Amino acid sequence: MARIHIKRQHDLDHETVRSEIEGLAKRLADELSASCIWKGDRLEFKRAGASGHVDIDGRQIEVDIRLGVLLTPLKSTIESKINSYLERALG
Could you read off the pLDDT of 27-44 as tens digits, one per residue? Answer: 888 888 899 999 999 999
Which CATH number fits the domain that encloses residue 59?
3.30.310.50
Domain containing residue 30 = 2-90
Q: What is the DSSP string of 66-88?
A: EE-TTTGGGHHHHHHHHHHHHHH
Q: What global pTM score does this model have?
A: 0.89
User: How many domains does the chain divide into?
Assistant: 1
Q: What share of the chain is helix, strand, coil (3-state, %, to 5)?
A: 40, 40, 20
The pLDDT value given to residue 24: 86
Of residues 63, 49, 73, the one with CA closest to residue 20: 63
CA 8 to mean position of chain CA atoms: 11
Could you read off the pLDDT of 51-78 as tens digits, one per residue? Answer: 999 999 989 999 999 999 999 999 999 9
Backbone φ, ψ for residue 52 (5° rounding): 170, -165
Q: What percent of the chain is modeled with pLDDT above 90?
A: 77
The pLDDT value given to residue 32: 80
